[in-house]
Amino acid sequence: MSMRTPSDDLAALHVRACRLAHEGREDRGFCQRAARADNLACAHTMARWRLKAALDARVAAGVPGAADALARWHALDLAVGQADHDRTRAESAGDRAAVAAAIAAHDEAAAALAALLAEARVPAA
C-alpha cells in the first residue's frame, strides 16, 4: 500500500467561483458538503488546507518559489473569508454596492487560487 502525499490531494481540488451564493444551504447556512468539499473558492471549506499542506511540503523540500506560493496562499485564504464576511455585513445593511464589491473581491481571490493550484500541480524539478 502506498502512502498518499499532500500533492496527491491536489487532483480532486478545483475552483468554482460560487459568487458566495451558499447554494443548497445546510448546517447553519453553509453550502452542501459535496459542493464545498473540494472547492478552494468556497468560504466554508477545508479544501484550501489540503492545498496548504502540499505547499508546505514544497517549502520543506526546498522547491524554488514555494515560500512565495505559501505566502500567497495565506493572503488568499484570508481574502476569501473576508469577502464572505463583507458580503454578509453588506446584505444585512442592504448595501447592494458593497455586496457587489465583496463578490468581486471573492471572484478575484478565486481566480488567484486557480492559478496557485495550477502552479502547485506542476511537479517539482
Give residue limits of the domains in the chain. 6-121
User: Is 31's pLDDT higher than 70?
Assistant: no
* DSSP three-state, residue 26: strand
The 10s digit of each residue's pLDDT in 49-78 is: 999 999 999 999 999 999 999 999 999 999
The 10s digit of each residue's pLDDT in 80-105 is: 999 989 998 999 999 999 999 999 99
User: Is 46's pLDDT higher than 80?
Assistant: yes
In which band, very low, low, confident or very high, does the pLDDT at 22 lie, cut at 50, 70 and 90? low
Asked if 116 and 51 count as a contact pair (C-beta separation under 8 A), the reply is yes
* DSSP three-state, residue 73: helix
